[in-house]
Amino acid sequence: MQYLLDTVTMVRHFAGTGKIGRKAACILDSIEESDEVLFISIISLMEIMYRSEKNRITVNLQDTLKRVENSSKYMIADLDSDILRTAETVNFSELHDRLILATAKWLDIPVISSDREFKKIREIEVIWN
């Protein structure tokens, strides 16, 4: 199975801090032993870079990229015209989240997220609790 991590989930998982829902934690904790793949949107990496530079999070872009690039369990989903076209069909006000949701919709995979607003997008499965 494949999943897309939203930014908050990725930060909590990589930092080892913060609350992660039961179902989400089960997937994340068993990723190395499973055949599952976790996609990460390039938008989330941009958010990590920005928030790290502002000292809002404890993980940084370079460490995150090392971890992602050194594991076969993580795949980076680049932003492309297909995802932008899909974003036009996603009704979500915040741009970064809209692009992350569009990525999940375009890849046709669930997103692992604590954001309750994501559940309002019916065509995208959200996993957390």
| pLDDT (tens place) for every residue of the chain, 129 residues total | 999 999 999 999 999 999 999 999 999 999 989 999 999 999 999 999 999 999 999 999 999 999 999 999 999 999 999 999 999 999 999 999 999 999 999 999 999 999 999 999 999 999 999
b or e along 11-50 (b: 16 or more beta carbons within 10 Å of the residue's beta carbon)?
bbbbeeeeebbeebbebbeebeeeeebbbbbbbbbebbee
Question: 123: which residues sit within 8 A by CB, 6+ positions away?
Answer: 105
Indicate the pTM of the whole model: 0.95
The CATH superfamily holding the domain 2-127 is 5'-nuclease (3.40.50.1010)
pLDDT, residue 5, reads 98
Domain segments of the chain: what residues? 2-127
pLDDT, residue 18, reads 93
**How far is residue 31's CA from residue 122's CA, in Å, rounded to a whole number?**
26
